[in-house]
Amino acid sequence: MTPSRSASSSSGGHVAVLELKAFTEALERWASEPTPARRADLRSAFERLMRGAALGGGRLRVDSPPIPPVEVSVGGSAGVEAAAGSSWAELRSGDRTHGSLVLEAGVGGPLAEEVVGGLAMAVEAARNGTVAGMASDGLAALDASTRAIAAVLDLDRVLQLITDRARELAHAEYGALGILDQDGMTERFISSGLSRIERERIGALPRGLGLLGVIARESRPVRIHDIETDPRRAGLPPNHPRMHSLLGVPVVVKSRSVGRLYLANKLPSGDFSAEDERLVEMFALHAGIAIDNARLHEQVQRLAIVEERERIGRDLHDGIIQSIYAVGLSLEDVPDLMGDEPEVAKARVERAVDSLDQSIRDIRNFIFGLRPELLEQAGLVGGLAALADEFRVNSMVDIELETDEVDDREMDPDVIEQLLSIAREALSNIARHSKATRGRMGPRIEEGRLRLIISDNGVGFDPAAPRSAGHQGLVNMRDRAASLGGILEVDSEPGVGTRIIVDMPLPEHTRPGAADRGDE
């Protein structure tokens, strides 16, 4: 072994196979987890190999990406490069250089060349294993990322998710997704790896004057070693984090470029690899499809909203508005009748009030019909919560919901609909008549019966007093409670407030503990 001589991995086999295998495994562990402990293991394996070959001290440098670069030394080799008569050799495999080995002065010969060849083979094997492992991990991460974005139809969410996942795939410190308009200009710029405050400090969207513009004009991926030294750079704005290595990949949908993925600062260090580029390019194909699907979903939603508005307008016009219009016509000559035929005028006004009350109920039922999630998704408790939210918005009364941990999962949807209708009517009465400032509402389950209670702190009334013909709310609520096999209780008196109580039996299969009792 002579100074500046290159040694090939084709050397003979006198070097102990077990020591080389142990060194290869230690190097693979370092590649997967470059920690001080792993480096110490690598040094120990290198020391055993050198001791077995009786070569004394030496210094090994491994520089073979994607293995993180590392140096280990044994014996009195600190400063061995400068010692007179020291020898060194490159670790080569084919056309690839994996690092170098420097030996103490006076060490050489065939056995040293075998060690160099064996080390070259070991680093090549560790490198290939690392590349294969990264490829497998990368494909698994790619599969997980594509599945994640495919399940999202909200455009804002899918854009952010694409940016985050691309950054994770390439192991980048920062990521960004620039969305282009019809003229090829950046209309949106989504970032990853920056906090909201950091992003706001940077300022306006990039104008594409420097490298981002170059990448935007390219129809292929671009890898850059260092942004700060590239002659095409235009400089970073104030408060922008330092960036060096860069990977840019186009996002294409149906042969049309819709944006660019930008990934900066490869972690833990170095440049983005061809494997990074391949993974991100494959991900960008799925990202383009996800963006297109989200945009189509938005368009369908907007179309559905327009169609729903038209339907609502037709329904209101054909029924409720026509009824209100008829009431208006019936009242036009009431001023004249009040002098000549007061009883007729009074009867007409009372009929008009009845008609308006019916229209109010129709409008309320119509609005409830636009909220199918009250029944389809939320159940009784969720439906009461939605009614309470709507009531707070549309009245000056603060309503408190008390659920008492009621399990309504097995409750019949028809029962839920009737109970919600009673609650809606009771809340309407609170808003119109009670002059209350607070109220409470909620179901309770006691001894196989459900009790729905709606109360307020309003002026109250006498339930036994006769009601005028236009006030059918209590009658309707009683009829609904009776249809459930229950009763409606009204607890109220002037100046105290009102409690409306629905008391009904629960079907056997919906009672607490029914699932535990089985068929007994």
CB neighbours of 113 closer than 8 A, spacing ≥ 6?
Answer: 1, 7, 11, 89
Region 228-256: mean pLDDT is 81
398-401: strand order across its sheet? 398-401, 438-446, 449-456, 497-505, 487-493
SS3 letters across 152-206: CCCHHHHHHHHHHHHHHHHCEEEEEEEEECCCCCEEEEEEECCCHHHHHHHCCCC
Q: Which of 84-88, 303-307, 317-321 has the highest mean predicted lDDT (pLDDT)?
A: 303-307
pLDDT of the residue at 236: 73
Q: Using one digit for the tens of pLDDT, what is the confidence trace for 142-200?
A: 777 777 777 778 888 888 988 998 898 889 999 988 887 776 677 788 889 988 888 77
Region 260-284: mean pLDDT is 88
Q: Using one digit for the tens of pLDDT, what is the confidence trace for 307-344?
A: 767 766 666 655 667 677 778 888 888 888 888 888 88
pLDDT band at 122 (very low <50, low <70, confident <90, very high): confident
- The CATH classification number of 152-298 equals 3.30.450.40
- Does the CA dihedral 456-457-459-460 come out positive or negative? positive
Answer yes or no: is pLDDT of 511 > 70: no
The owner of tokens 């580029």 is 277
Query: DSSP letters of 27-53?
Result: HHHHHH---HHHHHHHHHHHHHHHHHT
Q: Using one digit for the tens of pLDDT, what is the confidence trace for 415-443?
A: 888 898 899 889 888 888 888 999 999 99
Answer yes or no: is pLDDT of 376 > 50: no
Region 220-248: mean pLDDT is 82
pLDDT band at 106 (very low <50, low <70, confident <90, very high): low
pLDDT of the residue at 96: 82
Answer yes or no: is pLDDT of 19 > 50: yes
In the DSSP assignment, the letter for residue 466 is: -
Encoded tokens for 266: 């490869």
* pLDDT above 90: percentage of residues in the chain: 13
Instruction: Output 477 or 148, whichever has higher pLDDT.
Output: 477
Residue type, 426: A
Region 19-41: mean pLDDT is 88
pLDDT of the residue at 7: 43
pLDDT of the residue at 154: 83
Q: Where are the alpha helices (DSSP H) in 34-180?
A: 36-52, 110-150, 155-170
Bridge partner list, 251? 259
Encoded tokens for 206: 């990039």
pLDDT band at 457 (very low <50, low <70, confident <90, very high): very high
C-alpha 458: how far from chain center? 45
Encoded tokens for 212: 């981002």
Region 195-220: mean pLDDT is 72
Instruction: Output 87 or 518, whichever has higher pLDDT.
Output: 87
Region 193-208: mean pLDDT is 76
Contact 435, 473 (CB under 8 A): no
Q: Which of 95-99, 182-186, 252-256, 373-377 has the highest mean predicted lDDT (pLDDT)?
A: 95-99
Bridge partner list, 188? 179
- The CATH classification number of 371-516 equals 3.30.565.10
Dist. CA 249–CA 421, nearest whole Å: 56
The torsion region of residue 106 among left (phi > 0), alpha (psi -120 to 50) and beta comes to left
Nearest to 29 by CA among 17, 44, 18, 8: 44
Lowest mean pLDDT among 23-32, 136-145, 241-250, 251-260: 136-145
Classify residue 285 as exposed, middle or buried by CB count within 10 Å of its CB (0-12, 13-18, 19+): middle
In the DSSP assignment, the letter for residue 320 is: I
Its CATH architecture, for the domain 5-137, is 2-Layer Sandwich (3.30)
CB neighbours of 378 closer than 8 A, spacing ≥ 6?
Answer: 385, 386
Count of helices and strands (H, E) across the chain: 15, 15
pLDDT band at 484 (very low <50, low <70, confident <90, very high): very high
pLDDT band at 506 (very low <50, low <70, confident <90, very high): confident
The owner of tokens 């909200």 is 154
